[in-house]
Structure 1
């Protein structure tokens, strides 16, 4: 599933090509892509002006001129492809939109776990379904000290805490493993047993890893994650822990270990991730 860097890459592409443009037509080609919508999406979206594209953690949305939002969840395989009409030819196009700037937006979702949802917003413009999501570590309003306090109050493992979107959003399995490796923290360590400075160091590692991933266009292991132009990210070349089972640790040379933990694959160095 795309994590914060991948969703932010998509958001930036959409903001570049599809801001301040009006929806001329909308086709919903697969009902699951708009599940949960009480009224059909197309009649409500046609004629609406997209004023901007926003994100919190893994949640992405278009702000509309009627103070509602078009929230997009990419799921496991969702892609937002922008181009001239007819550019996207995938058999897995679920929603197709034409805008008054001549651009076509296609939502492609092979596994159909993603969806679009037109919804109300709060006073700050955040979609109601995303209000429970915490600020992410790249948000200018993100408070490191307050987040560290909440993280240290948990008796869960530090990796589970990192994946808790109500505490810190946007971090998934890939960037949790990478950040814990960068901070030298064992994934199974209970969060409350870490010092405040250890947690703050981890938050700093999360921010640094995500900035590097953004600069590389995100992480792509297959064709399911691409940006709005159909290009893959290449941060996978820079991974130090995730997916590196048996490879020598870049810091100490010990083979990276993979374990099943909290229903996920977790990758870490057993020698230098000792905190």
Structure 2
């Protein structure tokens, strides 16, 4: 699954290429990608077609385009076009003459626009090989805390109902360390399990959880109710730092499914310290004169990667 940095890379690309443009036409190639739009294909086409894109916003791994009437662009938006990327969904900006992708599902034709004297591509294409993702229109509602719905250019205090249950992520300007610490320590669970709970802190998946835990020197089974405030700050700072570096590298791409809006892969995978490095030396230990190997352990029907020296298992470990 794409994690926060990968989705933020897409958001920034869309912000650059589609904000301020009208969706002139909508072509549905495979209606299965609209199964989350409960009012059907015709309603989707009628709502999205002719709408002005005013912002691109992200909350955790949720991504949406706020839509407005072209005649009233300054009024607060009431609906958004949500894009759920799933495991293989891609939002690509293409020239209209470019060949269709093999797994193209939805094509949005954008109004003409220029950038530095050059015409911008006019197609926004949703491509999805495994069809776990999709697009749908959602109503916007006020955020519970009155802050912006998520990371985006206009930062309006609105959020789609379908994303309102998702907690803020560490890169969100409105993220509250104090609130997160209180909620974290009220749980009786393991630290990694808490980091993966999108209702507690969003955007962190298996890869970046392992990387943040390695950076902060915490075992994944550290009991959350034993975390002191400095400990919470340490893991949040570690997660923020790891994801910021991944974002600068364009995300983590292990195959052709994880790409930005121009189809380019990220290269943070080469800088991973723990995830996927089982049997290889811990670089931190190596720098300190030790030869500890990264270990892979089973966790929640997936894997955790850790350094047994840097991240010793606590005696009161919780799964």
Equivalent of residue 87 in structure 2, options 63, 76, 79: 76
Query: Which residue of 2 is the match for residue 21 of structure 1?
Result: 21
Structure 2 distance, partners of 1:260, 1:115, is 31
Structure 2 distance, partners of 1:53, 1:208, is 23
Scaled by the length of structure 1, what TM-score is found? 0.97
Are residues 1:131 and 2:164 paired?
Answer: yes
Query: Which residue of 1 is the match for residue 56 of structure 2?
Result: 53
| Residue 193 of structure 1: how far off its partner (Å) | 2.4
Equivalent of residue 116 in structure 1, options 121, 135, 160: 135
Query: Does the CA contact (< 8 Å) of 1:63 and 1:125 recur in 2?
Result: no
Query: Does the CA contact (< 8 Å) of 2:191 and 2:224 recur in 1?
Result: yes
Superposition RMSD in Å: 1.2
- Equivalent pairs, count: 275
In structure 2, the gaps of 5 or more residues are 69-76, 113-120, 143-156, 286-290, 315-319
Query: Does the CA contact (< 8 Å) of 2:25 and 2:108 recur in 1?
Result: yes
Structure 2 distance, partners of 1:268, 1:52, is 39
Query: Does the CA contact (< 8 Å) of 2:36 and 2:135 recur in 1?
Result: no
Query: Which residue of 2 is the match for residue 154 of structure 1?
Result: 187
Are residues 1:214 and 2:214 paired?
Answer: no
> Residues 120-199 of structure 1: matches in 2 within 5 Å?
120-123=139-142, 124-199=157-232
| Runs of 4+ more than 3 Å apart | none
In structure 1, the gaps of 5 or more residues are none
Query: Which residue of 1 is the match for residue 115 of structure 2?
Result: none
Scaled by the length of structure 2, what TM-score is found? 0.84
Query: Does the CA contact (< 8 Å) of 2:170 and 2:236 recur in 1?
Result: yes
Query: Which residue of 2 is the match for residue 106 of structure 1?
Result: 125
Structure 2 distance, partners of 1:161, 1:106, is 35
Are residues 1:94 and 2:105 paired?
Answer: yes
Q: Which has the larger radius of gyration?
A: 2
